[in-house]
Structure 1
Amino acid sequence: MKKLYYVVIGLFAFAFIAYLFIKKEPLPTYNVDRYYIEGKENEILAKFLLAKDSSVIELDEGHFLLGQSLILDGVNNVTIRGKGIHKTVLSFKGQNKGAEGIRISNAQNITLENLTVEDAKGDNIKVMDTKGIIIRNVQSSWVGKVSEKNGAYAFYPVLCENVTIDGCISIGASDAGIYVGQSQEVTISNNTVFYNVAGIESENSTNVKIFGNEVYENTGGILVFDLPGLTRYGKNIEVFNNKIYNNNIKNYAPEGSIVGQTPSGTGALVLATENVHFHDNVFTNNKTTSIALSSYLLIYEMGKRDAEEEKSPDELGNGVASADKLNDEFLKDKKYNPYNRKIKIGVNSYSNSRWFPTLNNDFGKLLLFKKPFQTIDILWDGVVSPNTDYTICIDNTKDINFYNADLLNDFKNATTNESLYKCR
C-alpha cells in the first residue's frame, strides 16, 4: 500500500511538472490607439511617384490609411521623413493593391526616418538592389495578436550594399523583425525587437555588425544563417553588446518555412556560416539555450523527417524560405558549404532562472533527458567542418554550460568538455 502511495504521488508530480513546461503559452498581443485621417492617400502616393533625385519627401503628422504600396524606384539621394514614431503612421490595414507597405528598389543613398509603418499584407518595408540605405527611428509593426497571417518581414533589405538600421522598433513579423539578406557592409544597431518569430536575422550577408540591440520575447533572438540556392554566401558577422532575453514565445511562422524550425527559447542561432564572433552580449532566461550552433546537415535531416512523416510537398511552405524547397536547393547547390566555420564565442554573460529547458520543442525535450536540472548556454550539433582550422572556439570556459550533442551520430561522442574547444 505504501509503495502504491509513492507511485501515485510520483505520477501526480510528473503530471504537474509536465503541465508547467508543456502547457500552451498564449501568443502576445500588441495594441495601440490610432485615429485615422481621411482623404490623404492620393497626396502621399503622389509624393512617392513624383520623387526625383535629391528629393525630400516630407510626411505630415497624423495616422493615415493606405490601400496600396508606396513605391520608390530608380532614384538617388532621396530622404523620406516623418514627424516621429507614432506621430506619422502609415497603416496598410485592408491593403488591396501590392504586398509591401514601402518598397524601394534600384536606388542609391536613401534615408527613411521618423515614422511608423503598420499592417502591410506582406513586408512592411522592403528595399532591393540599393546601394546606401539608412533606416533610423522607424517602427515597423503589426497590430493585434501576433499571427502567421502577419507579414513575413518588418524590415527587409535584400541584395543591398551599405545598409544601416539604427534606433528602430520591430513588432510582430511572422518571419524576422529585422532581416538583411544577400547584402554587404551592414550595421544593425540600437534597435528594440520583440514579438517576432526571429528578432534579427542576417542571411547570406557579408561584413555585418549587430550591436546595441534589445532583443526579447521573440521565438529566437538573433539568427545568423547561410542558406543554399541564393546568389551570395555570407561571412564576417560580429554580434556584440546586445541584450538578448526571454525569447520564449511560441513559433508562429507559416507552416513549412525554414524559420519555423527555430526552437522557442533560443537566444541566438548560427547556421552554416563562416567567421562569426559573439562577444559582450547578455543572455538571460532563454529557455532552450543561449547560443545554438547548427550545420545545414541537421536541418536537411529534420526536413526529410518532417516531409516523410507529416506533410506532402504541396503542404510545405508558402514561398517564404520553404524548408522543403531549400532542401532541394541544397542537393543542387554544389558551391554551398553546409558547415559552420570559424565560429568564435567570446566572453558573454549567461544567466537563467530555470532548472529545466522548455518542453515545447524537440531540442528542449532532448536536453531535459540528456542534461537534466540545468539549462545550456552553448549548444552545438557537433558537426565538424572538414576544411577549416576550426569549427567553433570558446573564449570563456569558466562557469558556462556547454554541450556538444553529436546529434547526427546519435550522441556517440557527445561531450560537455568545453575546454576541448578553447580558442588558441
Structure 2
Amino acid sequence: MNRIAFAAVLLASAAPLAAETHTIAPGEGAQERLQEALILAAPGDEIVLEAGRFVLTDGLSLDVDGVTLRGQSADTTILDFTSQQGAGEGLLVTSDNVTLRDFRMENPKGDGIKSKGADNIVYTRLIVTWTNGPDPSNGAYAIYPVESTGVLVDGVIVSGASDAGIYVGQSSRITVRNSIAKENVAGIEIENSRDALVENNIATKNTGGILVFDLPGLPVIGGGNVIVRNNIASDNNTPNFAPPGNIVAGVPSGTGIMVMANENVLIEDNIVSDNATAPFMIIAYTQTFDDARYNPFPRNVVIGRNIAEGGGKAPDLPGGEQLAAALGGAIPPVLWDGLSDPETAPLFVTGEFAGVSLNLKAQGQGMSDAQPSVLSAPADAPAWDMSAVGAPAELAARLK
C-alpha cells in the first residue's frame, strides 16, 4: 500500500461515525428492541418510533448524550404502560442534550418521563396521561426534570398526576411554555429552582393551577427569579387527591397561582378565573425544619396586571366560608397569610385589584388565629434584573 492510500485509511478510521437513525416498530419484541436502541445509541443518533401502540411491561432508560427520541405524533405513537410491572418511571433520562418529542405515554406505574442531572433537555409535543382520571394511585409526576441546567418544556399535555403534571425541581435556566396541564393535583410546579419562565400555558381543572415553591432539606434550595406570565389558570377546583404526606396534599382545591417561600417572583398578564379558594395565594412554609440554609418566607413577590375573575367564592379553607361572607361574598384576588421575613418586604400588589392578609403571627397558626385585613393596591412595585430568566437559546433551536 502506498503512503497516500495508507494515510487515507488512517484518516477514515479516525473520522467520527455518522449519526444513525434507529427505527422501532410496535409489536412483538418492541420493548427489547427499543431498550436496546436506547443503550446502543451514539451521540447524535435519532431513535424513531413508528406509529402504533407500544405495549410495555417495564420502564425504559437512556444514558447517552445527544440522542433524540421521537415518535410520529402524540396522537399516533403511544407508549402504553398499563401492564407495567413494578412502580418505576416510564422513561428515565440521565444524559445531556437529549430531545424527547412527538409521542404519547399512558398509565406509567410511577412517574411518566423523569430526567435527572440531564442538562439542556427538551420535552416537546408530548402527552403523558393516566387514562382513569384523577386518582391517588396514579404516578406522582408526568413530566419530571430535576437537578438540571437548561430545561425546555414546550407544547406538552399532561393529566392525572397525583402530585404535579409538569414539575421542574432543583434546576436553573428553565422555560415551560405552550403546554396544557389538567386534572392533576398541581398543574405546573416550579420547586427549588431559579431563573424560570412559565408562559403561555393553560392550567385547568387541577387542584392548584401553577405553584412556585421552595422547600427545606433538599440538595438545592433557594428558589427564585421566576416569571409567570400570559398563562390561563382557570377552574382549578378538583378535590385534592394527593397521597397523604405529599407536600401538595396541603394545597387547597380552588387555587389559581400559589407562591410559597420563594423570592423575586413576577406574576403578570395572566387570566386567572373561577378558582374557588383564591386566584393568587402567597404563603410561608409552615412546617418545622432544621435546614439553616432555608428561608421559609416569600420575598419580593410582585403580582402585576392580571385578569382575576370569579374566584374566592367557596374557599377550601377552615373557616373559609365565613371569611368570604365577611368580605362581601368572595375573598379578594390575593390571599396572603401575613407571614413575612422581618428584613424584607414580602408582597407587592399592583394592578387594579386588592387582596386580603390573614395577619397570622407565627408559622403553624390556622384560620382560627386569623385577623383578616384588606390590602390596598399600591401604584408602584420594585423591579429587579430578570434578564437571565428562561431556557438557553440553543434549546429552542432544537424544536424543529
Alignment of 1:235-250 (within 5 A): 235-250=224-239
TM-score (norm 1): 0.79
The CA deviation at 1:45 is: 1.9
The CA deviation at 1:37 is: 4.4
Cα pair distance change 1:168/1:183, threshold 3 Å: same
* Correspondence for 2:57: 67
* Counterpart-to-counterpart distance in 2, 1:259 and 1:131: 26
Matched, 1:260 2:225: no
Q: Deviations over 1:323-356 (max 9, x none)?
A: xxxx4xx1x201100010100111001111x6x6
- SS class of match (1:291): strand
The CA deviation at 1:146 is: 1.8
1:292 to 281, 290, 297: 281
Alignment of 1:311-322 (within 5 A): none
* Counterpart-to-counterpart distance in 2, 1:366 and 1:201: 30
The CA deviation at 1:401 is: 4.2
2:118 to 95, 118, 130: 130
TM-score (norm 2): 0.84
- Asked if 2 retains the 8 angstrom alpha-carbon contact of 1:220 and 1:267, the reply is yes
Matched, 1:157 2:138: no
1:403 to 341, 356, 359: 356
- SS class of match (1:47): helix
Cα pair distance change 1:344/1:363, threshold 3 Å: farther
* Letter matched to residue 395 of structure 1: T
Matched, 1:350 2:305: no
Matched, 1:199 2:199: no
The CA deviation at 1:222 is: 0.2
The CA deviation at 1:114 is: 0.3
* Counterpart-to-counterpart distance in 2, 1:416 and 1:360: 19
Matched, 1:423 2:378: no
* Correspondence for 1:340: 298
* Counterpart-to-counterpart distance in 1, 2:35 and 2:211: 35
Alignment of 1:51-200 (within 5 A): 51-73=41-63, 75-97=64-86, 99-105=88-94, 107-200=95-188
* Letter matched to residue 380 of structure 1: W
* Letter matched to residue 374 of structure 1: A
Instruction: Show structure 1 runs of 5+ residues with no match.
Output: 1-35, 301-326
Q: Deviations over 1:96-128 (max 9, x none)?
A: 1460001001x1110000001111111000000
The runs of at least 4 aligned residues of structure 1 exceeding 6 Å deviation read none
Instruction: Show structure 2 runs of 5+ residues with no match.
Output: 1-25, 363-368, 383-400
Cα pair distance change 1:50/1:381, threshold 3 Å: same
* Counterpart-to-counterpart distance in 1, 2:323 and 2:163: 25
- SS class of match (2:233): strand
* Counterpart-to-counterpart distance in 1, 2:227 and 2:75: 32
Cα pair distance change 1:375/1:411, threshold 3 Å: closer
- Asked if 1 retains the 8 angstrom alpha-carbon contact of 2:276 and 2:315, the reply is no
The CA deviation at 1:150 is: 0.1
- SS class of match (1:367): helix
Matched, 1:394 2:349: yes
Cα pair distance change 1:103/1:366, threshold 3 Å: farther
* Letter matched to residue 145 of structure 1: G
* Correspondence for 2:40: 50
Higher helix share: 1
* Letter matched to residue 367 of structure 1: L
- Asked if 2 retains the 8 angstrom alpha-carbon contact of 1:357 and 1:364, the reply is no
Cα pair distance change 1:126/1:55, threshold 3 Å: same
The CA deviation at 1:179 is: 0.1
* Letter matched to residue 225 of structure 1: F
Q: Deviations over 1:71-96 (max 9, x none)?
A: 001x2111001000121100111211
* Correspondence for 1:313: none
The CA deviation at 1:369 is: 4.7
* Counterpart-to-counterpart distance in 2, 1:245 and 1:383: 27
* Counterpart-to-counterpart distance in 2, 1:206 and 1:359: 30
* Counterpart-to-counterpart distance in 2, 1:145 and 1:112: 24
2:210 to 222, 234, 255: 222
* Counterpart-to-counterpart distance in 2, 1:43 and 1:419: 60
* Counterpart-to-counterpart distance in 1, 2:27 and 2:315: 47
- SS class of match (1:357): coil
* Letter matched to residue 301 of structure 2: I
* Letter matched to residue 211 of structure 2: L
Task: Percent identity, please.
Answer: 37
- Asked if 2 retains the 8 angstrom alpha-carbon contact of 1:158 and 1:180, the reply is yes
- SS class of match (1:376): coil
* Counterpart-to-counterpart distance in 1, 2:134 and 2:297: 33
Q: Deviations over 1:256-304 (max 9, x none)?
A: 21100000000011000010000000111111100000011xx32xxxx
- SS class of match (1:42): helix
* Letter matched to residue 355 of structure 2: F
- Asked if 2 retains the 8 angstrom alpha-carbon contact of 1:288 and 1:363, the reply is no
Matched, 1:376 2:332: yes
Cα pair distance change 1:103/1:250, threshold 3 Å: same
The CA deviation at 1:422 is: 5.0
The CA deviation at 1:145 is: 3.2
